[in-house]
Chains A and B, each alone.
Chain A
Amino acid sequence: MGDYTIMNQLDFPILSLMMALPLAGALAALYSNAATARMIALMVTLVNFVLGIVLWLNFDQGPSAPQWQFTEYAPLFSRFAWAMGIDGIALLLIVLTVFLMPICILASWEAIQKRVSEYMAAFLLMETMMIGVFTAQDIFLFYIFFEAGLIPMYLIIGIWGGVNRIYASYKFFLYTLLGSVLMLIAMLWMVNEAGTTEIPALMAYNFDPKAQTWLWLAFFASFAVKMPMWPVHTWLPDAHVQAPTAGSVILAGVMLKMGGYGFIRFSLPMFPDASAQFAWLVYGLSIVAVVYTSLVALVQEDMKKLIAYSSVAHMAIVTVGLFAFNQAGLEGAMMVMLGHGLVASALFLCVGVIYDRLHTREISRYGGLSINMPKYALLFLLFTMASIGLPGTSNFVGEFLALMGVYQASSFVALIATTGIIFGAAYMLYLYRRVCYGDLVHDDARAMKDLSPRELAILLPVAAATLWMGVYPESFLAPMRADIRAVVERVAPAKPEGDAKLTPGTPQPASHDAHGEGHAASATSEHAGEAH
């Protein structure tokens, strides 16, 4: 059949390859002994990381570049197709995924001693599913990957998790499943209505505004749970606390981003009217989340729980940014997602490092670690600062842009959301003080050794990426700028009136650099404001 097509700059199906490799690796690992399984997993994830770099380097960011690149199409499944393709948004999330995977494998190198081959297989399977979510261009294919990711994660939490792992695994699975099934019915309705399963076509289809309300709510049920947004976030602390370190990394680093990706890929462009209609809901839930979960994080005694709650607070800044309906807000939301993917992962890895030594996550059992573990204390400090959003680190760029974006939409929301940064400083610095500063009062903590070369090899790349993203964010903003603009233009007709009444300044001559585009975007929003 002539229906099978591969259209990309490399002339071979790189996306399918990136998904097939971990799948094959998973099967191979399943039938190997522990040592071989570890090596297979590391090799496969490293090769996939290299492929991810190849993908990034070959991604066309030029002004006339097509929106969807590396597309593949094979109508294999009758009702839906093996349709793959990425834009800049998906590209960055894929790169984040393949970057974190080898780190996860290395972090489990010694911590996981039982049923290693199954563990590695589950992680590799997970990687296939995550890449599938970000590359699928067919709405049902997306759903299959979105849901299938639950299976390996359920096993990872349930088999290799902590004491209360069974409760956590059920809660994780059933919560996210309940959210997603409603989305499936909405998808069936949409495909029935629009007559296509292709995501790009559905993004351009104008659904009846009345129907949009229901469709939006169904998708919201899924993405809000996945994100997670208050008040459906309660599965996250349980899952994080019980999951093994690498499981927490993948959960915080990539799986939560599927919710944000869903909003930016489905909710906003497919239902612009409903998105505008429900912006208040998202704002409301988000500002509650920022304040409430930050306060909850402040009183946690368990390190992983604290970071889990901080994740909910950070994701709330993502959601306000996404529903700011402007370039800055959406770009900021994406940057927070990427930055949080690195920083939260790194923080979980830091917790994992000391958990491996003392086998407790209780904060009060530590203290004074900067005395006997200086390298660890330094890196932990860097990630703490990044989590707070210190300028020069990844999270600053994202949070600044997101808050700037939402300020144009609602200064009140921006005001409350910004307190998240202050609270963030409070709970993170408090955590850091209790773990690293003060005297070494516990003998067992005194006996802990500083970072091993393996642990350094895990944390240093993340530290480098965090600083890179903070110092030169343009590398990350450039690939997605055009795609974010497409989303902003798509939602522009429905955009709610913001409360920021900016006075127009003197128009500047248009220039082709990044700053010029930023100004152009804000200039259009000013004109839109005048029109009202």
Chain B
Amino acid sequence: MDMLTSLLMTTPELVLTGAGLILLMISAFGGDSTARIVSWLAIAALLSAGLTLCGLPGTGGQAFDGLYQADAFGVFAKVLIYAAAAVSILVAPRFFATTQGGMRAEYPILILFATVGMGLMVSAGDMLTLYVGLELNSLASYVLASFMRKDGRSAEAGLKYFVLGALASGILLYGTSLLYGFTGSTSYDGIATAMADGLSNGELFGLVFVLAGLAFKISAVPFHMWTPDVYEGSPTPVTAFFASAPKVAAITLLIRVVTEAMGSALDAWQQIIIFIALASIVFGAVAAIGQTNIKRLMAYSSINNVGFALIGLAAGTPEGVAAVLSYMAIYTIMTIGSFLCIMQMRDAEGRPVEDIASLAGLSQSRKGLAAAFAIFMFSLAGIPPMMGFWAKFLVFDAAVGAGLTVLAVIGIAASVIGAFYYLKIIKTVYFDEPAAAYAPAGSRIENAIMAVAATVIVLGYLLNPFLDRVTATAAASLF
């Protein structure tokens, strides 16, 4: 395999890197007045990177001697990541206009670099590519979290994220070094070959540390502590981004590592995944009940949702992997939709409000927004006929199909606890007496994206045959 073919397979990353560097120059010399054009160019870059996925990057196989894998699985994850990244750029200008007097041109660029990192994460075929991608994503994310640097909470979020993220990276690297020491390889294939003839103690320790490091990235219990603070402190468009794209990247990365590198050690990682799945579901649900800040609540909701997604992974079957992919697709839509609703929460002067109590009686002043809130919350709670139910249905189906009936029973019973706090928001929106009205409706773009997301969440069942087909293809490329 020659260098050119390998490079062609990584076109999406090359496009995004190139675009990021050029836009960085434009913004460096043009200043913040170029923010608007830089944003649109960044979106164009994401779109063209997405289009290149149709070619060799989706079918090429292994590039750079297995360091990078261009397959259907990566394509699926990248489409979700690019879409989420583009939405996070689209919705940002209005938010920054009201909070710090205007959009800054660095924002879309940082998102682009984070996206390059995520692309590497999901396509990595080697622990080191994985690490480089992860760090690229993380470094951009740390800056994004503290993007409103004059805001104390934002700065704190960035610092916390950085310190804890560095700790997690250390754990992951330690696990990688153990795996390298005991298997003699950092490539997934090499690790898989070495693990095939039984799991030695050293390999087991390596596996545990790698999973612990990755659990931090997906914010699964017990490595979730950073999530509420970071979600609350970060600017809302950044929170929307954190809750969607990096989540998809980290989950799909986890899937690839456990199925490709550790496929033969199913028994070892399955129990870990089962534990963190149940712990995340229960903790995410219980801890969310007392929250009064909607962004904190969404942080716990994301912990809760990661738990459900992991139930599909615990099955360890192609059906399970396909279910997790469907879950992440639906989850991304619901989360972005919810955050778009949250971004509409602005007081009379247009400043963002995050208090759940301020939603009281929204249904009487803003019918459409209230309906959207209700749709997304019912969907996150997993109540049919919303698509959120279908996501849960698929992962539980996979778990039952793999004989993990008890896990499914406990998980679904715990979902009722989660339903309570989603219901609380709907109660506030629909049942309570009206509080002070919000500022009038936002931009057309935000409303349009919100409407599309809500429609997909309600009518998405018609897309089921398509979703089933693509997730099955993506999952099949791992096994």
> CA A151 – CA B379 in complex, angstroms?
11
Q: How far is the CB of A160 from chain B (nearest CB, A)?
A: 10
Tell me which residues across on chain B come within 8 A of A118, comparing CB atoms: 363
Mark B392-417 against chain A: 1 for CB-CB distance below 8 A, else 0: 01001100110001001100110110
Mark B417-443 against chain A: 1 for CB-CB distance below 8 A, else 0: 001100100110011000000000000
Q: Using CB atoms and an 8 Å cutoff, list the residues of chain A in contact with chain B.
A: 76-79, 115, 118, 140, 143-145, 147-148, 150-151, 154-155, 158-159, 165-166, 169-170, 173-174, 177-178, 181-182, 184-185, 188-189, 192
6 A-B pairs with C-beta separation under 8 A: A77-B462, A78-B467, A115-B363, A118-B363, A174-B420, A178-B416
> CA A181 – CA B381 in complex, angstroms?
12
Q: Is the CB of B419 within 8 A of A177?
A: yes
> CA A505 – CA B158 in complex, angstroms?
88
Q: How far is the CB of A121 from chain B (nearest CB, A)?
A: 10
Q: Is the CB of B383 within 8 A of A192?
A: no
> CA A87 – CA B338 in complex, angstroms?
42
Identify B423's interface contact among A173, A185, A189, CB under 8 A: A173
Q: Is the CB of B464 within 8 A of A144?
A: no
**Does residue B378 face the partner (Cβ distance < 8 Å to A)?**
yes
Identify A188's interface contact among B396, B415, B423, B461, CB under 8 A: B396
Q: Is the CB of B413 within 8 A of A182?
A: yes
> CA A188 – CA B390 in complex, angstroms?
13
Q: Is the CB of B461 within 8 A of A158?
A: no
> CA A140 – CA B464 in complex, angstroms?
14
Tell me which residues across on chain B come within 8 A of A165, comparing CB atoms: 431
Q: Is the CB of A192 within 8 A of B401?
A: yes
Known: A77-B461, A184-B396. A189 touches B419 (CB 8 A): no
Query: Across the two chains, which residue of chain B brings its CB closest to A170?
Result: B423
Tell me which residues across on chain B come within 8 A of A166, comparing CB atoms: 427, 431
**Does residue B447 face the partner (Cβ distance < 8 Å to A)?**
no
**Does residue B465 face the partner (Cβ distance < 8 Å to A)?**
yes
Identify A150's interface contact among B383, B408, B409, B413, CB under 8 A: B383
Q: How far is the CB of A33 from chain B (nearest CB, A)?
A: 13
Identify A147's interface contact among B384, B423, B430, CB under 8 A: B384
Q: Is the CB of A185 within 8 A of B405?
A: yes
Mark B344-381 against chain A: 1 for CB-CB distance below 8 A, else 0: 00000000000000000001100000000000001000
Question: How many chain-B residues does the 8 Å CB contact rule pick out?
Answer: 32
Tell me which residues across on chain B come within 8 A of A189, comparing CB atoms: 400, 405
Interface pairs A-B: 8 shortest CB-CB: A144-B384, A78-B464, A188-B400, A181-B412, A78-B465, A158-B431, A78-B468, A178-B416
> CA A182 – CA B413 in complex, angstroms?
7
Q: How far is the CB of B56 from chain A (nearest CB, A)?
A: 29
Tell me which residues across on chain B come within 8 A of A143, comparing CB atoms: 384
| New A-B contacts (11) at CB < 8 Å, excluding given A79-B393, A143-B384, A144-B384 | A78-B467, A144-B385, A147-B383, A147-B384, A158-B430, A170-B423, A174-B423, A178-B413, A182-B412, A185-B409, A192-B397
Q: How far is the CB of A7 from chain B (nearest CB, A)?
A: 23
Q: Is the CB of B468 within 8 A of A79?
A: yes
Known: A158-B430, A177-B419, A185-B405. A148 touches B413 (CB 8 A): no
**Does residue B389 face the partner (Cβ distance < 8 Å to A)?**
yes
Q: Is the CB of B461 within 8 A of A76?
A: yes
Q: How far is the CB of B102 from chain A (nearest CB, A)?
A: 37
Q: Is the CB of B431 within 8 A of A169?
A: yes
Query: Across the two chains, which residue of chain A brings its CB closest to B401?
Result: A192
> CA A185 – CA B383 in complex, angstroms?
15
Q: Is the CB of A169 within 8 A of B420?
A: no
Tell me which residues across on chain A come within 8 A of B384, comparing CB atoms: 143-145, 147-148
Known: A115-B364, A185-B408, A188-B408. A158 touches B427 (CB 8 A): yes
Q: How far is the CB of B18 from chain A (nearest CB, A)?
A: 39
> CA A42 – CA B430 in complex, angstroms?
24
Mark B446-468 against chain A: 1 for CB-CB distance below 8 A, else 0: 00000000000000011011011
Identify A79's interface contact among B408, B409, B420, B464, CB under 8 A: B464
Q: Is the CB of B419 within 8 A of A148?
A: no
Query: Across the two chains, which residue of chain B brings its CB closest to A118?
Result: B363
Known: A178-B413, A181-B413, A189-B400. A155 touches B405 (CB 8 A): no
Q: How far is the CB of A147 from chain B (nearest CB, A)?
A: 5
> CA A182 – CA B400 in complex, angstroms?
12
Tell me which residues across on chain A come within 8 A of B405, comparing CB atoms: 185, 189
Q: Is the CB of A144 within 8 A of B389?
A: yes
Q: Is the CB of A184 within 8 A of B378?
A: no
Tell me which residues across on chain A come within 8 A of B363, comparing CB atoms: 115, 118
Q: Is the CB of A76 within 8 A of B462?
A: yes
Q: Is the CB of A77 within 8 A of B383?
A: no
Identify B427's interface contact among A77, A140, A169, CB under 8 A: A169
> CA A298 – CA B415 in complex, angstroms?
38
Tell me which residues across on chain B come within 8 A of A77, comparing CB atoms: 461-462, 464-465
> CA A184 – CA B384 in complex, angstroms?
12
Q: How far is the CB of A75 from chain B (nearest CB, A)?
A: 8
> CA A312 – CA B375 in complex, angstroms?
33
Query: Across the two chains, which residue of chain B brings its CB closest to A179?
Result: B416
> CA A189 – CA B396 in complex, angstroms?
10
Query: Across the two chains, which residue of chain A brings its CB closest to B461?
Result: A77
Tell me which residues across on chain B come within 8 A of A169, comparing CB atoms: 427, 431
Q: Is the CB of B396 within 8 A of A148?
A: no
Q: Is the CB of B385 within 8 A of A148?
A: yes
Interface residues of B in 102-128 (CB under 8 A from A): none
Q: How far is the CB of B451 from chain A (nearest CB, A)?
A: 14
> CA A154 – CA B427 in complex, angstroms?
9
Q: Is the CB of A151 within 8 A of B378?
A: yes
> CA A178 – CA B416 in complex, angstroms?
6
Q: How far is the CB of A191 from chain B (nearest CB, A)?
A: 8
Query: Across the two chains, which residue of chain B brings its CB closest to A173?
Result: B423
Interface residues of B in 46-62 (CB under 8 A from A): none
Identify B400's interface contact among A170, A173, A178, A192, CB under 8 A: A192
Q: Is the CB of A170 within 8 A of B415?
A: no
Q: How far is the CB of A420 from chain B (nearest CB, A)?
A: 32
Q: How far is the CB of A255 from chain B (nearest CB, A)?
A: 16
Q: How far is the CB of A327 from chain B (nearest CB, A)?
A: 35
> CA A158 – CA B426 in complex, angstroms?
10
Identify B431's interface contact among A78, A144, A159, CB under 8 A: A159
Query: Across the two chains, which residue of chain A brings its CB closest to B409?
Result: A185
> CA A70 – CA B474 in complex, angstroms?
39
Query: Across the two chains, which residue of chain A brings its CB closest to B415?
Result: A181
Mark B283-310 against chain A: 1 for CB-CB distance below 8 A, else 0: 0000000000000000000000000000
Q: Is the CB of A174 within 8 A of B401?
A: no
Query: Across the two chains, which residue of chain A brings its CB closest to B382?
Result: A181
Q: How far is the CB of B153 from chain A (nearest CB, A)?
A: 32
Tell me which residues across on chain B come within 8 A of A185, comparing CB atoms: 396, 400, 405, 408-409, 412
Tell me which residues across on chain A come within 8 A of B462, comparing CB atoms: 76-77
